[in-house]
Structure formats: structure tokens, C-alpha cells
Amino acid sequence: MAKLFFSYCHADEALRDRLEVHLSLLKNQGEISTWHDRGIIAGSNVDVAIDENLKSADVILLLVSADFIASKVLLFD
């Protein structure tokens, strides 16, 4: 199973949700799993959770928009 990591701006969350709907057939068939920051469990270290999931991802999907480009959060140091 391939693990997909979504990197996106929260202003584009609705678009990310729609993309997950389009990927649902692959998810239901067990071909892929997806992860994004909304999967972080309360009380977890945010940076560690993102780092672990980013490093274990097979595919990194950058949902690039004007808001994404304008954000001050860097994906890679």
C-alpha cells in the first residue's frame, strides 16, 4: 500500500477533502492510504507527527495554490 502525504494550506482544506473523495476508490481497494495534519492526535507533538509521516510517505502531494505559496510554513528545511 502506498502512503500519500498531503501538504496544503488550510485555506484549501475543502479542495483537499474533494481530492480525497476522488482517491476513495484506491483507498477502498487498499492501494493507498492518506495522511495530512488533521490526523494529528490531540496532545501529540505536531512537528514530530508531521516529520514521521513525511519520512514514511511514498508520495508527497503538494497542493500548490496562491495561499500555499504565500504561507510562511516551509515543507523542507
pLDDT digits (tens, 9 = 90+) for 49-74: 999 999 999 999 999 999 998 887 65
Alpha-carbon dihedral of residues 17, 67, 10, 36, nearest 10 degrees?
A: 70
* pLDDT at residue 73, rounded to an integer: 63
Q: What is the pTM of this model?
A: 0.83
- Residue 64: half-sphere exposure toward Cβ, Cα within 13 Å: 5
Residue 1's pLDDT is: 95
Quick: pLDDT tens for 7-46: 999 999 999 999 999 999 999 999 999 999 998 999 999 9
Q: 31 by DSSP, 3-state: which? A: coil
